[in-house]
Amino acid sequence: MLQNLKEEVYRANLSLVEHKLVKLTFGNASGIDRKTGFMVIKPSGISMRDSGPDDMVVTDLSCNVVEGDLLPSTDAPTHAALYKAFGTIGGIVHTHSASATAWAQACRPIPCLGTTHADYFHGNVPVTRSLTREEIAGNYEYNTALVIVECFREMDPLRIPAVLVASHGPFTWGGDVTQAVLHAISLEEIARTAALTLSIAPVGPIDQTLLDKHFFRKHGQGAYYGQKK
């Protein structure tokens, strides 16, 4: 079942390790097949170097295992709820990459200071509010998704395909899981660069016109960056 998606999700999880965004088993990637409504996600607590595509777990969006002998990631309820809330996304990545996690632990959004940031995110990368004690003690992983969705009530998740969960770490997403990995890589880079920039001088945000130029030359109907397919 969903063999191509299993292979894509496996490669995505392996790519996170190769790009040093995941150490030990700190992170996961998933993809969804919108036709069936099934999600493929990394198994819980398993090293990618000790697994293969067939070890990826297929679940429904209630996190019931449809196929696989292993337990899905403990973050599966977060992924599933985001797929329900953001109907245009096809892949999700969660890491504890150092720079992005530092901003999350500081409970600070990553400000858009320059064009490197603007190439991928149309504005600041937001940080969620902290979960309440009741939300933590209850359905924690599901409630993590709810605070993310709450954060995007007035934002387009495709224009800012990333979020920092307060005191936790980053989540990214995209049209598919490969694009979600790309956003995780770029998020870590802009998080590191923003921190470095602010250590040099207390600069303000990028000019909005320059931000729009860089974002929309790569995204949307008027995009002209790269090669035409």
Find the catalytic residue in 55, 119, 142, 212: 119
For residues 103 and 86, what is the distance between their CA atoms, to the nearest angstrom?
A: 24
Cα–Cα distance for residue pair 7/3, rounded to 1 Å = 6
Pairwise CA distance, residues 218 & 158, whole Å: 13
Residue 225 appears among annotated catalytic residues: yes
33 is catalytic: no
The catalytic residue among 60, 156, 207, 225 is: 225
What the block records as the tokens of 88 is 């245009």
Provide the edge-to-edge strand list for the sheet that holds 91-95: 65-67, 57-59, 38-41, 27-33, 91-95, 169-174, 162-165
Q: Tokens for 35?
A: 């036709």
Cβ distance 110 to 194 under 8 Å? yes
- The length of the chain, given as a count of residues: 229
State the Cα–Cα distance between residues 213 and 161, nearest whole angstrom.
18
Catalytic residues: 119, 225
